[in-house]
Amino acid sequence: MTSHPPPHDLDAVGTAPRPPDVPVALDVDRRLAVLRDAADRARFALRRAEDDAEAEVRALERDGDSFAGREAETRGLLAERGYLSHPAGQ
């Protein structure tokens, strides 16, 4: 009996010789199934990467807002004590 490559191995399915007892349509259907599976996995990975990137952007925005608030507060304190000639916002 001929050994068939696992269905998730796109390279092996694309290059493995078709056994003579397997109809061409079945071989094509198997290859299409592998391609669809690969496309589904790629879409899932892309969605996950987009979600991760959006979360990173939100975290950076929060950090930036936090830093801007601390900077303004520090400038205000330094101006109150006479260390800065221009308080924050002026």
Task: Give CA angle at 25 (20, 31), nearest 5°.
Answer: 95
pLDDT (tens digit, 9 = 90+) per residue, 47-81? 999 999 999 988 888 888 888 888 888 888 888 88
Per cent of the chain over pLDDT 70 is 67
Residues in the chain: 90
Q: The pTM is what?
A: 0.47
Helix (H, G, I), strand (E, B) or coil at 54: helix
- The reported pLDDT for the residue numbered 68 is 81
- The reported pLDDT for the residue numbered 60 is 86
